Amino acid sequence: MWKRYFIAYKPFHVISLIFLIIFCLYSILWTAISSKIKSDLLNTIKEKIGESGKIEVASIETYGFPGKWGFVLNSVRSSGTVSDFLNNAYVWKWDSNAILVEINPLNSQELTIVSKGKNNLLIFESKGRQLVKVTLENLESQVSQITKTNYSLDFLQIENSRIYLSNGSKLAQINRAKLSITASQGEQKNSVHSEVFCNLSINKLKVFPKLNVPFGDTVTELKTKLLISGNIVQPITLSSVSNWRNDGGTVELKEFQINYGPVLGTANGTLALDKNLQPLVALSLRIKGASKLIQRLVEIGLVPPGNGSLLQIFIKLKEGKGAGLELPLTLQDGLLNVHQIRVMDVPLIIWR
C-alpha cells in the first residue's frame, strides 16, 4: 500500500523539487543583481548629475524580493551645477530624509523614484548667493529609456510645494503638480533632442507677492501640452538658440487650459522666434468670462480704456451663447493683438 502511495505521488515530489530549485536559483540571481545595483547606485547617480555633482547617503537598504529591486537611500544630500541658455551657472542642493528607488526586473530601463516627507531644494548663484528655496512633499517620478535615443519621463509628481525668495519671503505655493516628458534625440552628435513632448498640469497655484493681476493670487488649474521641434546644440547658448530658430525650431502649443477666477480659457497654436530672437506667437483662444477679464484689466491699468472699450464691443458681437468667445491672438514686434486690435505692449527680451 505504501509503495503504491509513493509511486502515485512521486510526480508531485519531482515537480515540487523542480520548483524549489528554480526558486533557489532565482533568489540567488535576484540577490546577486541587487547587490551589484546597490554597489553601483551612487556612482550611477553621480554620472547623471555630472562631474561637479556630489551625493552623500547615511545608508542604503534593499527591499522588494521577489519582485522589483528596491533601494532606500537614507539621509540623502546631493548637489550639482546647471547652466541656463546664456551659460550662467547655478548651484543646486537637494536634501531628503529618504529616497526610494525601484527598478522593474522585466524592464531594467524603467526607474521609479519616490521621496516621502519633506524635501529641500536650494538654488544659488555661482558666487554663492542664494536665489530661491523650494520645499516639497511626496515627490514621485518614473523614468524610462525606450531606445538608445528615445527617453520618457513617464511622470514627475510633487505635492505641497512652497517656493521662497532669498530673504525668506514666500513666493508661491503649489498644491499638486504633475509633469511628463518624452524626447527623441536628433541626428547630430551633440544635439539635445529633436522633438520633446511635454505635458504639465498644476492644481492650485498661489502667488504671494502683491501683483497687479485681475482676479487675485490663485490659479485654480493650469494645464499645458507642448511639442518642441528642432535641434538645440549643447551647450545651450544664445548662438545655439539662434541656430535653432534658423533651422526652423518651433514650439507647438497642443493644448493650454487655465481656470482663473471667473475666467476659463483654452488655447492652441505656435510659438517661434523672429530674426531678432523676439517671440512670434499665433494662438487660437476660447474664453469664457472675457468681458469680466477686459473690465478688470482696464481697472488695474494693464489695458488702456480706449482699447478696452473696443474689445468690449467686439466681445458682444462675437461671443456665442454659453460657448464663450473664440478669437485669434498674435504677438509680433512686442505688440499683443487680439483680432487685429492692439491690446498692449509686451517688453522685448534683452539678450546678453
The answer to whether residue 238 is domain-embedded is: yes
Q: Same domain, yes or no, for 276 and 174?
A: no
Counting residues of the chain whose pLDDT is more than 70, the rounded percentage is 86
Q: Same domain, yes or no, for 156 and 301?
A: no
CA distance 197 to 254: 10
Q: What angle do CA 329, 334, 337 make, to 5 degrees?
A: 25
Among 154, 184, 214, the domain boundary falls at 184
Q: Same domain, yes or no, for 84 and 177?
A: yes
The answer to whether residue 309 is domain-embedded is: yes
CA distance 315 to 248: 35
Q: Same domain, yes or no, for 246 and 145?
A: no
The answer to whether residue 244 is domain-embedded is: yes
CA distance 21 to 319: 74
Q: Same domain, yes or no, for 54 and 147?
A: yes
Interacting residues of 317 by C-beta distance below 8 A, sequence separation 6+ = none
Q: Same domain, yes or no, for 44 and 150?
A: yes
Q: What pLDDT is attached to residue 259?
A: 94
Among 149, 168, 184, the domain boundary falls at 184
The answer to whether residue 115 is domain-embedded is: yes
For 144-192, what is each residue's pLDDT tens digit? 765 655 667 777 888 888 988 888 888 899 999 999 888 776 544 444 4
The answer to whether residue 137 is domain-embedded is: yes
Residues 73, 65 contacting (CB under 8 angstroms) = no
CB 161: neighbour CB atoms within 10 A? Answer: 21
The mean-pLDDT minimum among 28-37, 47-56, 208-217, 272-281 falls in: 47-56
The mean-pLDDT minimum among 126-130, 204-208, 222-226 falls in: 126-130
Q: Same domain, yes or no, for 180 and 236?
A: no
The answer to whether residue 38 is domain-embedded is: yes
Average of per-residue pLDDT across 267-291 = 90
Q: Which domain holds residue 267?
A: 232-352
Average of per-residue pLDDT across 251-274 = 92
The answer to whether residue 200 is domain-embedded is: no
The number of folded domains in the chain is 2
For 74-103, what is each residue's pLDDT tens digit? 988 988 887 765 567 888 899 998 888 888
Q: Same domain, yes or no, for 79 and 167?
A: yes
Q: Same domain, yes or no, for 138 and 24?
A: yes
The answer to whether residue 53 is domain-embedded is: yes
